[in-house]
Amino acid sequence: MISTDTTIAAIATARGQASVAVIRISGRDAWTIAGRIFSKKNVAFQHGRFYHGWITDEGDIIDEVLLLTFKNPKSYTGEDVVEIHCHGGDVLSHKILNLCVKYGARMAMPGEFTMRAFLNNKMDLTQAESVMDLISSRSERLITQASANLKNRSLGQYIDEMSKGLLDLQAQIVASIDFPDEVDEPDRQVLAEKLNECLDGITRLRESAQRNRMIREGLKVAILGMPNSGKSSLFNALLARERSIVTEHAGTTRDVVTESLDIDGIPITLIDTAGIRETRHSIEMMGIQRSWQAASEAQIVMYLIDTSVGLLRYDTQILSKLDPQTTIVVGNKKDLLPVSQKKYANWIYVSVKTQEGMNDIYEALQQKIRAFSHEETGMTISLNQRQVKCCIEVEERLKHAQEAIHSTLPLDLVTLPMTEALRKLDELMGRDTTEEVLTNVFQQFCVGK
């Protein structure tokens, strides 16, 4: 049972040694509990102030701290809040947390502070989810979106407008049913058009969010090519560190090696693979299988060719299996390129060794990555799975309403799916939502947030 009657406490900072740790207390007794363990007994706490002193317990001095006090509703949770800034260290911060519990607080559950902020109308459910995005994001773009939603309620505003449109339509229909003598039945064609606008709005939101999934989940970029073409060298150059082993021996990399990097705010998983060639060596064969696997899972492939050797028949065979739309062909070892060799217009020529052409590689990568984002839709919201599911359910209900409008059925049958659609929009925003939904959302948070 969700309740906000108790006062909760938790360590808000990450575990391990640090210069500072923060213990947060929220609820009716937050100030009283802090007062019990604070050395200065004659201070009357005020909102938005900080107090320097010591945490003590029955005369024992525990740590020098700063207390920050917030009066409801002007706090993160909307309740009375105290933050105790003590020295970092697990044992010390747990000791202070245990003291808070000793004097009346309960240990907070994961996400309980943010859940209280939501229950106290400090934010809607999508904003609470944005807090989660901010904490867990691997992507700078997701951070930008989440901050915008926290500040401006961008998603909430979009959904509010849609709900309002639907409510207006519903009111027109209901009025004509309840007062048939005074209110004419609305024109079915006009109703259908307005309903279509709502359906279109929610579909566009979901589709653009699904296309923008890479902002949340990132993209995989695999480096493929024959042995010795310089894959590991390029992998290391892009990461700006010597992660993969590079040698002059063909067949050095035997397994896939993955690392994360950020390109234009998008989280990229870069994958170095074993060189692909015909071999009887069983370990190398397994490695090559994994290279193909990596290529099939990656959204973008960089195929490397050693230009000192030139394009081989085997390269052509491999390239024919790759999608040209998502493949960047790289002619490496430009420094060794024989003058006589044919140059291909669609290849990017580089020398990982001398760094010549590396900028062209970055540009090509950025271009391919951009092809996966659809900023031209003007919508920069990326929905999480729960939100996408709600949108799909709203779309289903609106389609039912449309079918009813186009049929000869009485108009009150249109209002039924419309009411359900409105309820689903409410669920998306966390209005009138079930305890189960809330628990699912907030248990993904960490303790102390």
Ligand X SMILES: Nc1nc2c(ncn2[C@@H]2O[C@H](COP(=O)(O)OP(=O)(O)OP(=O)(O)O)[C@@H](O)[C@H]2O)c(=O)[nH]1
DSSP helix/strand/coil, 143:
helix
Beta partners for residue 223, in sequence order: 272, 302
Sequence-separated (6 or more) residues with CB below 8 Å from residue 130: 145, 146, 147, 149, 150
352 touches ligand X (CB under 6 A)? yes
**Nearest residue to 265 (alpha-carbon basis) of 382, 148, 141, 369:** 141
Q: Contact at 8 Å (CB) between 353 and 335? A: yes
273 touches Mg ion (CB under 5 A)? no
- Closest to ligand X by CB, 78 or 357: 357
Binders of ligand X among 250-309, rule CB under 6 A?
Answer: 250-253, 274-275
Beta partners for residue 9, in sequence order: 25, 107
- Closest to Mg ion by CB, 29 or 272: 272
Among 26, 232, 236, 351, binds Mg ion (CB under 5 A): 232
- Closest to Mg ion by CB, 24 or 231: 231
Among 69, 77, 208, 232, binds ligand X (CB under 6 A): 232
Whats the size of the chain, residue-wise?
Answer: 449
Q: Contact at 8 Å (CB) between 381 and 222? A: no
Least CB distance to ligand X at residue 267 (A): 24
**Nearest residue to 169 (alpha-carbon basis) of 393, 404, 407, 390:** 404
Least CB distance to ligand X at residue 249 (A): 7
Using the rule CB under 5 A, give the single segment among 63-71, 113-121, 246-254, 361-369 that binds Mg ion: 246-254
**Phi, psi torsion values for 432, nearest 5 degrees:** 55, 35
27 touches ligand X (CB under 6 A)? no
**Nearest residue to 146 (alpha-carbon basis) of 114, 120, 119, 121:** 114
**Residue 114 contact among ligand X, Mg ion, none, beta carbon within 5 to 8 Å by kind:** none
Least CB distance to Mg ion at residue 252 (A): 5
230 touches ligand X (CB under 6 A)? yes
**Nearest residue to 248 (alpha-carbon basis) of 264, 228, 262:** 228
- Closest to ligand X by CB, 27 or 331: 331
Contacts to ligand X by CB under 6 A? 225, 227-233, 246-248, 250-253, 274-275, 332-333, 335-336, 351-353
Contacts to Mg ion by CB under 5 A? 231-232, 252-253
